[in-house]
Structure 1
Amino acid sequence: MAKKGRMEEIYLMAAYLVSSSMIKLATIRKCKLSATLLLRLKSKQSGLVTIQMTQHPISTCPWCDFVGFFALTIKNRKLEELLNESDGMLPKVYLSRTDRPSLLEPVKLYDARVLPYGPRKHKLAFWIAQGVTKFYIYVHSMAPEVNALLWVYEKSAEVDVERVNWAPLPTTGDILDDNDPNLRIYRTEVVTSINDCVLRSRGHTRYLVSSDLDEIIVARKEASLLKMLDKE
């Protein structure tokens, strides 16, 4: 899921290309960390392009030490030029810091642009009976029985199931509880996972529902939820 590496107290989740001029970065980081982030991009046609990111770190956080954090690239002409010359191939992305510019931590870049026309890869409504064709399952921990049931759906030709690893943040060696970020994070950052799902499905879905497995949405009319939403 995340990688800490040499970034120190910044766990990289993913980067999302949300438009032809903007990339949104999802991280979990220490609340009071004020280091300015830099995004460096590289394609086959060009060298490294450095883009500064806008960010507003939390200065006071009484209930935890780590929190979900999103940063946006500042509008940059070189970024637009790089994306236009890439011939449909996404550039390689690295995260750096202004105080340590030599650090280059690779980040997975997802294409989350919304296409104005043309078919989408998936039609997402809610559950198979309601018209679902795509599930994003955020996995933190799972019983063997749940894993076995999920595996059955993964083998089905009717729906597409994608597991997203939302496991505990990585640590190195024997770490004390006082230094373990997994014991100092707010509710495993559920809100961040929801926002990550919105970005991950962006441009590929008609409708998106964020729900626990024990939550049910029932349409009052004699129609599926998908048909009701299309009609409205």
Structure 2
Amino acid sequence: MKRFAAVVAYDGTDFFGFQVQPNQRTVQGVIEDALFKIHKQEVRTDAAGRTDTGVHGYGQVVAFNSSLDRLSAETMKDALNANLPADVYVRKVHEVGKDFSPRFHAKRRIYHYYILNTPEPDLFKRRYTWWFPYQLDIEKMRQGAKFLIGEHDFAAFRTGKDDRTTIRTITSIRILRLKKDVILFRVEGISFLRRMVRNIVGALVRVGTESLSPETVKLILESKDRSKLPSSAPPQGLVLYKVLFNEFET
């Protein structure tokens, strides 16, 4: 029995999130369908994160056991891609130890969020960016982001039911203007609560429009009250960009 870890990219637009759900098209579901075709039996998968409906992946990591000992990591990659739909692609496959868990062995997770900051929308970018036509002050957004760095109780930045601890560590938030029309939020941390990155972006955008002061981000964080938070950023701009492990390079 071998255990593999696949680095998976996907366009999340036409998926009902990552995690398997009854009677819904999900990323995990189509991966497990592909594994069934390869193995002629059910193969369960574990993932580094659960992305919501409409959220994309570039460096999602999915682990599974395989009874096909003759298959190398490269052959497994080819077999998966031959059986996956056009909106999912396996970028790499690594053979890993029997106890490898993409969720618990992950050292850091990096999310990218893209805003199209132009007066008019671009229909060819609408699936992968949040079109925001108003002026944004990047320096003020960076000032607000500084209050979120480190270990904090992020209860105010959680959406929905989540029984896990709300104590989380963000190691870095970078806000960059790419060319003239796209703003990138790069958020790096150990782990995240449900919709936490989108809530962070939503708050910082309000700072960028001067609807909130940078210091208000600190007050929202300290309140631990979700009702104090502005609206969440929409899903289509978010990408699970990379997950870092000691075991291999993604």
The alignment's TM-score, normalised by the length of structure 1, stands at 0.28
Q: Which has the higher helix share?
A: 2
Larger relative contact order (Cα-Cα within 8 Å, sequence gap ≥ 6): 2
